[in-house]
Amino acid sequence: MQVQQLPIYQFLEGSGKSFIIPVYQRDYAWTRINCQKLWDDLVDLKNNKRIDHFLGTLVTIGSGFEEYTVIDGQQRLTTTSILLIALHTFLKNKENKTEEEKILSEQVLDFLINKYSSEQDKRIRLKPNKQDKEYFEKLFTNGNVENANSNVVSNYNFFYEKINSEILSTKEVFDSFKKLKIVLIDLIRGQDDPQLIFESLNATGVKLKEDDKIRNFVLMDLEPVKQEKMYKEYWSNIEKLTGDVAEFVRNYLLFKLKTWVKKDDVYEVFKKFSLDTFNKDKEKILKDLLYFAQIYGWFVQINNHPDPLVNKQLNRLNKLEFTVSHPYLLDVFNDLKENILTEQIVKEILTTIESYAFRKILVDNTTQGLNKLFITLSKEIKKEKTWKEEYLGILNFILLEKTVSQRFPNNEEFENALVTKEVYRLQAKNRNFLLESLENYQSAYPVNVDELTVEHIMPQTLTKEWKNKLGEEWQEIHKKYLHTLGNLSLTAKNTELSNNTFEVKQQIDFQTSRLKLNFKLDGLANWNEEKIIERAKDLIKNAKDIWPFPKTKYSKPIHEEQKFDLTSEDSFSGSKPSRLYIEDDEKGTELKTWRDLLTNACKFLHNFSPTQFSEIQNSQEFRWYFDTKKPLRHPLEFMQDKFVEGNISANGVILFLSKICERINYPAENISFSIKNAKE
């Protein structure tokens, strides 16, 4: 075995060399996301004047000095070759080339072909497997292959477009390519065990966590003295303030970038963000992280906010575990620190956010689907010219304009849930939050609810006495109201009360109880359906004060579209799409029907990964949607001679496209759309 670090161009160059991808290797599968990362690395090499970039490891079995069988690293080797083909073709097609560009074109070609080979099959150095080989070879003859079901062609087009954009000159692309380094592990056939080497390189041992990677990235290349200083001064404090550094950094990135970041992508996104924003100034990165870690510590209640009332409200949000609001609240408290917002306004903001969260929990049973709302909420607010003067009004206006899964439940929905919903079956934290809030509302002496238990006034198991008291419809009343708010209270004597009659419960607890929730229970003659509803409606008066429905005088003449994406769990039955937005396209594509959305999205996803899309078309799961062996009921042409079934409902289209995204590993949240007349 020979192991050496070298630039990849040195591995590629040399008369007579060829690189074979074995037939057992999977098809070439890198997509535009991987290519974008490689392109970003090339740009970074030039912009930051870096001397090299580690591309990865290549494991080969050499046959003499000419033929190498690639057993690991085929994806990066193939991608690098595709980049060079795109560069060579661009130079070849360019009119009025300079002498330097003519020379460069020939230099690039030297890495791709053996010019003086008498055998045609050995002329092209890289030999991909299966159908990849056919498409790869066509790039040398045609320079482009239309409508090919191949990632080879798709990624070639990606690099060609990047080179054509002139972000880097052709010379700069080539110079950056020459700085790409690999670790080459060349095995000796008959002596080394390729499988053992491969398994060692791809072992599923203990992986670094995202926070470990972030820490290493920030501190690793510093001199020992500075490294220790930075760790003690910044990093250790960031850890203490946040509890979970990776989750904090994720929220920090959501706040900074105003775009979705997956948990598994935190390190990669942070690394790019910090290089783009702070260049290589590690202390600036750490200072900024520490500044926002101090704010984040208030949210997760590791530290108390200096204002007791603000801290109390943050504590309540923390009890609800309404973490989706953290990116937005980072912006709010940053504005507070910079004296743009006052503490009084922040208190009112927190009241609105809590009301929104708890009403969603009670009415909709969930706060899912609100992630993206709170990522961009501050951006929406600050688009308005008068946001500093009318912050609360604009916030309330925006929340009241939201529809479907993001709507703010109104008073009618809230009241109905408090009367009829089985709140006892809510998650314990939410049920206790409701009862604790009602018990301690405007109380000078708050009660520690943790020391109490929930009491069903009408018990879970009815005795003969209870059935007689409830009357002939006792079964229906018990089923309908047992777990509702009107029938629930708090007590320290749960075992004593048990299934006793209402009169006995009054004597044991209700007549002597100091709990507000038990007031008025001592004076009642009986407990029935009417009294349960009356008590619920009485408690609702306080609930509407604790969790108020927002009001605003702010208005806009033009209603802005609300966007949804392919991860949405909403129902779109009866609606029509308005525009389709893919990735960073802010203008979007006009749509008239859901079929328009289907064909446009299919075309994009096909071009993103033609190889995988073609596999999906032929798979058992998706054949019904693409099957060409029998006529489709409503065939829709999304590309030339490529059809998809159009007889799908609106919700079916969203589910279908999200499944395709999942299969080709494309972020479904990057494809969004607006709908007409969305507001309910």
The 10s digit of each residue's pLDDT in 316-334 is 999 999 999 999 999 999 9
For residue 677, is pLDDT > 60?
Answer: no
Return the higher-pLDDT residue of 469 and 250: 250
Buried b / exposed e over 249-278, threshold 16 CB at 10 Å, is: bbbbbbbbebebbeeeebbebbeebbbeee
Mean pLDDT confidence for 357-377: 89
Name the band, by pLDDT with cuts 50, 70 and 90, for residue 200.
Answer: low
Question: Which H or E run includes 430?
Answer: helix 428-440
Per residue in 426-445, pLDDT (tens digit) is 999 999 999 999 999 988 78
Neighbours of 232 (CB within 10 A): 10
CA–CA distances in Å: residue 56 to residues 75, 108, 271, 674: 10, 21, 18, 41
Name the DSSP letter for residue 590.
E
For residue 199, is pLDDT > 70?
Answer: no
Name the band, by pLDDT with cuts 50, 70 and 90, for residue 203.
Answer: low
For residue 680, is pLDDT > 70?
Answer: no
Q: Which two tokens stand for residue 448?
A: 């520690």
Mean pLDDT confidence for 165-175: 94
Q: Among 143-147, 293-297, 538-542, where is mean pLDDT lowest?
A: 143-147
Q: Among 88-97, 220-229, 287-296, 329-338, where is mean pLDDT lowest?
A: 220-229
For residue 397, is pLDDT > 80?
Answer: yes
Name the band, by pLDDT with cuts 50, 70 and 90, for residue 64.
Answer: low
Q: Is 635 helix (H, G, I), strand (E, B) or coil?
A: strand
Predicted pLDDT of residue 678: 47
Per residue in 82-91, pLDDT (tens digit) is 999 999 999 9
Do 500 and 508 form a contact (C-beta atoms < 8 A)? yes
Q: Among 305-309, 331-335, 500-504, where is mean pLDDT lowest?
A: 500-504
Q: Which two tokens stand for residue 135?
A: 């498409």
Per residue in 559-615, pLDDT (tens digit) is 667 788 898 877 788 888 999 999 888 889 999 999 999 999 999 999 999 999 988
For residue 16, is pLDDT > 60?
Answer: yes
For residue 267, is pLDDT > 70?
Answer: yes
Predicted pLDDT of residue 191: 74
The per-residue DSSP string of 37-68 comes to HHHHHHHHHHHTT-S-EEEEEEEEEEETTTEE
One-letter identity of residue 161: E
**E-assigned strand segments in 554-660:** 563-565, 576-582, 589-590, 635-639, 642-645
Q: Which two tokens stand for residue 474?
A: 């006792």
Per residue in 618-643, pLDDT (tens digit) is 888 888 898 766 678 899 999 888 89
Mean pLDDT confidence for 152-174: 94
**Spatial separation of the C-alpha atoms in residues 346 and 348, rounded to whole Å:** 5
Do 34 and 78 form a contact (C-beta atoms < 8 A)? no
Question: Which H or E run includes 19?
Answer: strand 18-20
Per residue in 216-251, pLDDT (tens digit) is 888 877 776 888 899 999 999 999 999 999 999 999
**Spatial separation of the C-alpha atoms in residues 615 and 86, rounded to whole Å:** 26
Name the band, by pLDDT with cuts 50, 70 and 90, for residue 482.
Answer: very high
For residue 144, is pLDDT > 80?
Answer: no
Q: Which two tokens stand for residue 311?
A: 């801290």
133: left (phi over 0), alpha (psi -120 to 50) or beta: alpha
Return the higher-pLDDT residue of 404 and 112: 112
**Spatial separation of the C-alpha atoms in residues 227 and 642, rounded to whole Å:** 57
Percent of the chain with pLDDT strictly greater than 70: 94
Do 454 and 488 form a contact (C-beta atoms < 8 A)? yes
**Spatial separation of the C-alpha atoms in residues 122 and 313, rounded to whole Å:** 72
- Phi, psi at residue 59, to the nearest 5°? -115, 125
CA–CA distances in Å: residue 577 to residues 114, 191, 558, 581, 600: 53, 63, 18, 11, 12
Predicted pLDDT of residue 560: 67
Neighbours of 178 (CB within 10 A): 16
Return the higher-pLDDT residue of 4 and 498: 4
Predicted pLDDT of residue 273: 94
Predicted pLDDT of residue 142: 62
